[in-house]
């Protein structure tokens, strides 16, 4: 029988989980097609706040990478919004006109942020906070000192405010109600929260009724009804969400607040399910993932003919703002038949509130000290009768039944069914069981196998305690991340031991440091090769078989197995002679593509591997050498025209860039190293987003470092000032050497600097001139071994085996062996 | 003369090169009418042959890093087992494995495999 077709509209966290469950149970039951209005794979929406705060990157929060879809045969339409469901024909159609037929359909369209329809709400610069595009828009706007106004003082608004502030913005939160997060906190706790936000420099204005968003071409401010005007470069509206049920409604499905589903997750059409924030179950809609994941499990079973049912239970949540502890669980709205127990400790900034009905806890809010959150939540879910401990309940688990105040003891006392990870619905028993069964030893392993703490991460501490309880001293939370599966040692230990034990070859490292594999893997070998190249210049013999193909053959592999060739153009300068030689080589080898790169030079793409040495020979003849466009090493030094030509130039930026590149080419570094020199602060060479950048000023040279403009975007930090070109070059080289010696393989300058601290780098290079000189000299020493053009070496015959097949057979004479 | 009959006389084996022409923990390519074949050599000196096409998106496996009895594809880092041609770890896929014989330090492949598409 042909596979049934399952179509999913929306690719959020809920359907992602449903498909996981489906493929676990029955990998081949359905041919799955997913349409996502967002142009990307499934990612962890919960973690947008850490991305906004710069604590995580998009890559860190991807749940299913492209490979996952390929592996499961899922067709994913990215950036395709479904505009119509035809229930008679059983098809869906996207805005780009793609129509796909379904046997079963899942509508998982999530929610949309509510926009308050005040004047100016549609001005550019008015953002919502829902997806990665919103985060990117905020990050682009977040120039240090720029002003952000966040409308809405609930969970989302406060996370946005904290993130924007971490990005260096001046942030104001406007909240309609008298206190923040009034749904979770009473006035006093709201005040504690407000105070702690204000102490970090976030302005909070409660009872703020927005009257108008002001601006001509884009937003410039927000005016309140009392006339107060807050200037703003961006405005983030975080006032609530509304289930996205329009598509379902248009298709004639029953819709109330959300798309109405029965406990089996079916809508009013038995072949159509609704799932996630767009669904309304038992008269409720949901805004947290834990219940959505439960729905997902139910739905997956029912797709396979099961009869599972979803019944909402209590949920818990945390405010994900680093440094503020706020936990709330269950239902904490006030009502006649409910009682409250409140504990305040103003000196410690602690506030706890329990809402009870009869002898059961309905809800808990903890601020400042959230250690007992899981314990309360567990009692809420299990509807435990608390009459026995009512007097001491609010003091937490430590005070009950004489058990110690030790947090471990508290976790030990939790029953196996106690939920540890709310996002993924993982209970304590599941974690301990999996640890014992598979012999897990680290948090990462537990995350991989149980999914506990794999989403928002707020239960990480608890999970660690469970691991500790289960395996005792075998758990070492400070354990460093091993380099790869071949060793327990981390990068820093390996580097230290290479020096300490004077290990000078890859086999020596593997032997002495107890590698677990015979000859390493594709992760550790290139790293070790770099560490040895860096630590033993002139002594260590480069191991080409431990280099990634591009560095092995000094060209960049392309998707079809051909290569690209990028000759150096020092400082972006070229000449008629060089250009003529390039033109000739292009003609002679029929090179299909010639492109100007983002690095101020020319890329020749689509060259057959066998032709590389001949292409290089011609380029060498015109004086050109490898541009190392493939190297974890010095790439480019971009320059602007500077004082030679430009009416604003203060120094010869082109000349300095050329000098730096001539001095530094050939050096190997932990990851690629890109530089730029601009002739004045107009910064036409974009020096302030490079690994190292120089901005020429009247009085000399301002040296910058630790910028990024690839996967991450980050302006540089100022390292210091130099008066002369010589001093600049010394500083730049010393900085590079420090990075060479401390950086972990594949760690770009900005990540290294963040890890070791900007100040420690400044201290080493700018404050300690002796150390700077020593670093500079080590760099110079190492350069003396590497400034031989790798292309010329290969033209002369080095590694010839790389560029010729071992043998070649024609169709007619394949029995004939051609000597190689 | 390089075509040789095997023991049973059923398969013609053809010499494609010497084992020492293949770098240790490296690979070489045999160009053939049926398409490129990658010959790998491990640290221990074992020789394996696979179609030079990654099961993922056809990457040239001969250009990858060889470690243990596996090669990491240069395009997207799938790890392919040299013994079976199967993708290791979480990835799924298989590259046709090619029978190989070593005689007197010479590497031999079946003539039929060189001439036609792999079985
Ligand atoms: C050719 C070029 C694009 C172009 O046509 O302009 C290019 C092409 C590639 N870039 Fe790039 N990048 C090029 C400029 C840039 C720039 C702009 C710049 O250098 O000013 C950036 C942003 C700055 C930066 O480096 O962060 C850039 C950020 C990246 C990144 C992200 C790095 C990061 O850590 O954020 C990668 C991925 C990586 O390195 O892992 C990457 C990776 C690549 C790779 C190597 C992808 C790959 O693994 O195959 C591409 C191979 C090129 C080839 O085969 O020739 N490329 N790439 C540019 C070559 C510059 C040069 O002359 O050497
Ligand atoms: C910043 C932020 C922080 C959060 N923090 C927490 C937290 O700490 N704890 C917690 O439990 N929850 C948190 N949440 C809520 C949680 O992320 C959501 O409950 C959950 O992601 C909803 O999942 P979903 O699959 O229902 O919808 P979504 O993840 O919203 O996915 C819906 C997807 O469907 C797409 N779509 C919509 N219409 C169409 C269409 N017509 N065609 C095709 N595609 C369409 C959308 O583009 C979207 O990608 C947070 C949310 C945000 C925004
Ligand atoms: S950075 Fe300054 S000197 Fe360089 S081109 Fe721009 S304005 Fe001119
Ligand atoms: S082609 Fe080999 S990993 Fe993608």
pLDDT the model gives residue A456: 65
Q: Which two tokens stand for residue A761?
A: 């780098």
Q: How far is the CA of A702 from the centre of ligand 3 (A)?
A: 14
**3-state DSSP of A16-82:** HHHHHHHHHHCCCCEEEEEEECCCCCEECHHHHHHHHCCCCCHHHHEEECHHHHHHCCCEEEECCCE
pLDDT the model gives residue A346: 64
Could you report the per-residue pLDDT of A254-297, keeping only the tens digit for each?
Answer: 999 999 999 999 999 999 999 999 999 999 999 989 899 999 99
Interchain contact A813–B (C-beta under 8 A)? no
Residues of B in contact with A817 (CB under 8 A): 2, 14-16
Q: Distance between CA A563 and CA A589 in Å, rounded?
A: 13
Interchain contact A97–B (C-beta under 8 A)? no
Q: Which two tokens stand for residue A441?
A: 């030893």
- Decide which of A460 and A728 is more confident: A728
pLDDT the model gives residue A321: 81
Of the segments A142-156, A508-522, A597-611, which one has the largest average pLDDT value? A597-611
Interchain contact A404–B (C-beta under 8 A)? no
Q: How far is the CA of A537 from the centre of ligand 1 (A)?
A: 27
Q: How far is the CA of A434 from the centre of ligand 2 (A)?
A: 29
Measured by CA distance, the residue closest to atom 36 of ligand 1 is A710
Choose the residue to mutate in A13, A19, A294 for probing ligand 2, maximizing ligand atoms within 8 Å of C-beta: A13
Which member of A518, A557, A811 has the closest CB to residue B74?
A: A557
Could you report the per-residue pLDDT of A67-115, keeping only the tens digit for each?
Answer: 899 999 999 999 999 999 999 999 999 999 999 999 999 999 999 999 9
Least confident range of A256-270, A330-344, A669-683: A330-344
Given the CA of residue B78, which atom of ligand 4 is nearest to it?
A: 3
Q: How far is the CA of A654 from the centre of ligand 3 (A)?
A: 10
Least confident range of A48-52, A531-535, A668-672, B99-103: A48-52
- Residue A71 burial by CB count (10 A; 0-12/13-18/19+): exposed, middle or buried? middle
Verify whether ligand 2 is closer than 6 Å to residue A10 (CB atom): yes
Q: Which two tokens stand for residue A1?
A: 């029988």
Q: Distance between CA B39 and CA A90 in Å, rounded?
A: 51
Average pLDDT over residues A499-513: 87
Q: Distance between CA A599 and CA A596 in Å, rounded?
A: 8
Measured by CA distance, the residue closest to atom 3 of ligand 4 is B76
Query: A806, B28: Cβ pair inside 8 Å?
Result: yes
Q: Which ligand is nearest to the CA of A78?
A: 2
pLDDT the model gives residue A542: 94
Residues of B in contact with A559 (CB under 8 A): 57, 75
pLDDT the model gives residue B10: 58
Q: Is the pLDDT of residue A719 over 90?
A: yes
Verify whether ligand 3 is closer than 6 Å to residue A678 (CB atom): yes
Query: B72, A806: Cβ pair inside 8 Å?
Result: no
**In the block, which residue shows the tokens 């290569």?**
A563
Q: Which two tokens stand for residue A327?
A: 């936990």
Least confident range of A424-433, A782-791, A805-814, B75-84: A805-814
- Smallest CA-to-CA distance from A103 within A340, A272, A299, A234 is with A272
Is the ipTM reported for this complex over the cut 0.95?
no
Q: Distance between CA A44 and CA A289 in Å, rounded?
A: 10
- β pairing state of A234-237 and A241-243: unpaired
Average pLDDT over residues A707-720: 93
- Decide which of A427 and A322 is more confident: A427
pLDDT the model gives residue A816: 46
| 0.80 surpassed by pTM | no
Q: Put residue A152 in one of left, alpha, beta given phi > 0 → left and psi -120 to 50 → alpha.
A: left
Least confident range of A345-349, A531-535, A550-554, A672-676: A345-349
Give the DSSP H/E element, type plus range, for residue A148: strand A147-151
Q: Distance between CA A145 and CA A170 in Å, rounded?
A: 6
Mean pLDDT over all residues of chain A?
90
pLDDT the model gives residue A400: 64
Average pLDDT over residues A700-721: 94
Assign B119 a pLDDT band (cuts: 50, 70, 90).
Answer: very low
Q: Which ligand is nearest to the CA of A679?
A: 3
Interchain contact A780–B (C-beta under 8 A)? no
Q: Is the pLDDT of residue B6 over 50?
A: no
Query: A522, B72: Cβ pair inside 8 Å?
Result: yes
Least confident range of A475-484, A598-607, A735-744, B3-12: B3-12
User: Do residues A465 and A454 touch, judged by C-beta distance below 8 A?
Assistant: no
- β pairing state of A259-261 and A279-281: parallel
Number of C-beta neighbours around residue A246 at 10 A: 14
Q: How far is the CA of A679 from the centre of ligand 3 (A)?
A: 5
Interchain contact A806–B (C-beta under 8 A)? yes
pLDDT the model gives residue A482: 86
Query: What letter would DSSP give residue A12?
Result: S
Assign A691 a pLDDT band (cuts: 50, 70, 90).
Answer: very high
Query: A805, B63: Cβ pair inside 8 Å?
Result: no
Could you report the per-residue pLDDT of A158-201, keeping only the tens digit for each?
Answer: 999 999 998 889 999 999 998 898 877 777 778 888 888 998 89
User: Which whole-number Å values give the CA distances from B82 to A92, A515, B31, B64, in the listed order?
Assistant: 44, 21, 19, 12
CA distance A693 to chain B (A): 31
pLDDT the model gives residue A573: 97
Assign A324 a pLDDT band (cuts: 50, 70, 90).
Answer: confident
pLDDT the model gives residue A457: 62
User: Do residues A704 and A690 touch, judged by C-beta distance below 8 A?
Assistant: yes
Least confident range of A230-234, A431-435, A710-714, A793-797: A710-714
Least confident range of A147-151, A227-231, A514-518, A806-810: A514-518
Share of chain A above pLDDT 90, in %: 67
Which member of B43, B75, B90 has the closest CB to residue A518?
A: B43
**Which ranges of A589-712 would DSSP assign to H, the alpha helix?**
612-621, 653-664
- Residue A128 burial by CB count (10 A; 0-12/13-18/19+): exposed, middle or buried? buried
- Residue A121 burial by CB count (10 A; 0-12/13-18/19+): exposed, middle or buried? middle
Mean pLDDT over all residues of chain B?
87
Assign A399 a pLDDT band (cuts: 50, 70, 90).
Answer: low
Residue B108 pairs in a beta bridge with B15, B101
Given the CA of residue B59, which atom of ligand 4 is nearest to it?
A: 1
Measured by CA distance, the residue closest to atom 4 of ligand 4 is B76
Assign A349 a pLDDT band (cuts: 50, 70, 90).
Answer: confident
Query: B68, A521: Cβ pair inside 8 Å?
Result: yes
Q: Is the pLDDT of residue A812 over 50?
A: yes
Q: Is the pLDDT of residue A13 over 60?
A: yes
Q: Is the pLDDT of residue A815 over 50?
A: no
Q: Which ligand is nearest to the CA of A676?
A: 1
**Which ranges of A244-372 would DSSP assign to H, the alpha helix?**
246-250, 289-303
Residue A241 pairs in a beta bridge with A113
Which member of B17, B63, B79 has the closest CB to residue A806?
A: B17
- Residue A733 burial by CB count (10 A; 0-12/13-18/19+): exposed, middle or buried? buried
pLDDT the model gives residue A347: 66
Q: Is the pLDDT of residue B117 over 50?
A: no
Verify whether ligand 4 is closer than 6 Å to residue B112 (CB atom): no
pLDDT the model gives residue B85: 95
Provide φ and ψ at A524, rounded to 5°: -80, -30
Q: Spell out the long-range contacts of A700-704 with Cβ–Cβ below 8 A and sequence spacing 24 or more.
A: A700/A651, A700/A724, A700/A727, A700/A728, A701/A651, A701/A656, A701/A725, A701/A727, A701/A728, A703/A728, A703/A731, A703/A732, A703/A735
Taking CA–CA distances from B43, the nearest residue in chain A reads: A519
What is the per-residue DSSP string for A364-427?
EEEES--TTHHHHHHHHHHT---GGGTTTGGG-GGGSTT--S-HHHHHHHS-TT-EEETTTTEE
Q: Distance between CA A514 and CA A511 in Å, rounded?
A: 5
Q: Distance between CA B27 and CA B17 in Å, rounded?
A: 12
Q: Distance between CA A667 and CA A692 in Å, rounded?
A: 15
Q: Is the pLDDT of residue B8 over 60?
A: no
Q: Which ligand is nearest to the CA of B76?
A: 4
Q: How far is the CA of A602 from the centre of ligand 1 (A)?
A: 13
Verify whether ligand 3 is closer than 6 Å to residue A567 (CB atom): no
Choose the residue to mutate in A16, A35, A45, A246 for probing ligand 2, maximizing ligand atoms within 8 Å of C-beta: A45
pLDDT the model gives residue A345: 72
């Amino acid at each position: 029988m042909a596979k049934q077709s399952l179509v999913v509209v929306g690719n959020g966290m809920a359907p992602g989980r449903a498909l996981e469950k489906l493929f676990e149970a029955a990998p081949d039951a359905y041919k799955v097609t997913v349409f996502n209005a967002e142009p990307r794979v499934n990612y962890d929406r919960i973690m947008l706040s850490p991305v906004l705060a710069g604590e995580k990157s998009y890559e860190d929060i991807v749940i299913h990478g492209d490979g996952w879809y390929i592996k499961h045969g899922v067709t994913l339409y990215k950036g395709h919004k479904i505009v119509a469901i035809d229930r008679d024909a059983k098809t869906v159609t996207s805005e780009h006109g793609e129509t796909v037929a379904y046997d079963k359909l899942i509508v998982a369209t999530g929610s949309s942020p509510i926009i308050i329809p005040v004047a100016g709400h549609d001005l550019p610069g008015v953002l919502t906070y829902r997806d990665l595009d919103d985060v990117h828009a905020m990050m682009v706007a977040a120039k240090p000192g720029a002003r952000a106004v966040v409308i809405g003082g609930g969970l989302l608004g406060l996370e946005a405010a904290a993130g924007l502030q971490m990005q260096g913005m001046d942030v104001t939160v406007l909240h309609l109600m008298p206190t923040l997060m009034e749904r979770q906190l009473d006035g006093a706790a709201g005040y504690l929260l407000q105070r702690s936000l204000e102490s970090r420099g976030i302005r909070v204005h409660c009872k703020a009724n927005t009257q108008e968003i002001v601006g001509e071409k884009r937003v410039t401010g927000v005016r309140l009804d009392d006339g107060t005007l807050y200037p703003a470069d961006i405005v983030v509206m975080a006032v609530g969400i509304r289930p996205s049920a329009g598509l379902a409604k248009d298709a004639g499905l029953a819709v109330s607040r959300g798309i109405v589903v029965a406990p089996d997750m079916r809508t009013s059409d038995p072949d159509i399910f609704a799932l996630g924030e767009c669904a309304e179950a038992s008269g409720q809609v949901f805004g947290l993932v834990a219940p959505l994941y439960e729905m997902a499990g139910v739905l997956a079973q029912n797709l396979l003919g099961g009869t599972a049912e979803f019944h909402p239970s209590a949920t818990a949540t945390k405010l994900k703002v680093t440094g503020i502890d706020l936990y709330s669980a269950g239902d904490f709205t006030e009502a006649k038949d409910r009682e409250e127990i409140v504990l305040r400790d103003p000196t410690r900034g602690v506030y706890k509130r329990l809402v009870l009905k009869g002898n059961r806890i309905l809800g808990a809010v903890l601020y400042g000290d959230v250690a007992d959150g899981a314990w309360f939540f567990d009692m809420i879910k299990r509807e435990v009768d608390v009459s026995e401990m009512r007097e001491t309940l609010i003091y937490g688990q430590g005070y009950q039944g004489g058990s110690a105040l030790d947090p471990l003891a508290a976790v030990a006392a939790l029953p196996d069914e106690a939920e540890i990870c709310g996002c993924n619905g993982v209970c304590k028993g599941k974690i301990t069981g999996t640890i014992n069964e598979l012999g897990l030893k680290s948090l990462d392993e537990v995350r991989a196998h149980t999914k506990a703490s794999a989403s928002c991460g707020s239960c990480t501490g608890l999970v660690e305690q469970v691991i500790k309880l289960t395996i005792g001293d075998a758990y070492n939370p400070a354990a460093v991340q091993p380099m790869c599966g071949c060793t327990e040692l981390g990068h820093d230990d390996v580097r230290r031991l290479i020096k300490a034990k004077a290990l000078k070859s890859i086999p020596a490292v593997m032997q002495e440091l107890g590698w677990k594999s015979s000859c390493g893997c594709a992760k550790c070998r290139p790293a070790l090769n770099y560490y040895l190249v860096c630590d033993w210049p002139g002594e260590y013999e480069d191991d080409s078989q431990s280099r990634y193909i591009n560095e092995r053959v000094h060209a960049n592999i392309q998707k079809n197995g051909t290569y690209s060739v990028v000759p150096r153009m020092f400082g972006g300068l070229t000449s008629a002679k060089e250009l003529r030689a390039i033109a000739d080589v292009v003609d002679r080898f029929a090179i299909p593509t010639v492109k100007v790169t983002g690095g101020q030079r020319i890329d020749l793409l689509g060259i057959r591997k066998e032709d590389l040495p001949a292409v290089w020979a011609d380029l060498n003849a015109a004086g050109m050498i490898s541009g190392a466009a493939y190297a974890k090493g010095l790439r480019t030094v971009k320059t602007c025209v500077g004082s030679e030509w430009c009416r604003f130039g203060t120094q010869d930026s082109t000349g300095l860039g050329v000098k730096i590149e001539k001095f530094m080419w050939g050096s190997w570094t932990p990851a690629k190293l890109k530089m730029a020199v601009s002739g004045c602060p107009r910064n036409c060479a974009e020096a302030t987003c490079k690994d190292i950048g120089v901005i020429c000023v009247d009085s000399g040279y301002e040296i910058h470092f630790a910028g990024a403009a690839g996967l991450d975007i980050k302006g540089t930090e100022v390292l210091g000032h130099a008066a002369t070109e010589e001093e600049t070059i010394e500083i730049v080289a010393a900085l590079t050497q420090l990075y060479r010696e401390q950086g972990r393989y594949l760690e770009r300058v900005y990540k290294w600097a963040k890890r070791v601290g900007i100040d420690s780098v400044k201290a080493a290079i700018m404050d300690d001139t002796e150390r700077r000189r020593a670093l500079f000299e080590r760099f110079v020493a190492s350069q003396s071994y590497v400034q031989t053009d790798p292309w010329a070496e290969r033209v002369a015959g080095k590694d010839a085996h790389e560029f010729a097949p071992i043998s070649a057979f024609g169709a007619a004479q394949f029995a004939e062996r051609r000597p190689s | 003369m390089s075509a040789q009959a095997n023991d049973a006389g059923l398969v013609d084996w053809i010499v494609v090169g010497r084992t020492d022409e293949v770098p240790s923990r490296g690979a070489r390519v045999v160009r053939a009418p049926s398409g490129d074949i990658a010959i790998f050599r491990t640290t221990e000196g074992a020789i394996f042959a696979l179609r030079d096409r990654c099961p993922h998106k056809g990457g040239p496996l001969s250009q990858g890093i060889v470690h243990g009895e596996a090669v990491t594809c240069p395009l997207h880092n799938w790890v392919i087992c040299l013994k079976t041609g199967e993708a290791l770890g979480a990835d799924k896929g298989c590259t046709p494995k090619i029978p190989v014989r070593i005689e007197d330090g010479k590497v031999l492949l079946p003539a039929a495999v060189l001439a036609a598409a792999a079985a």
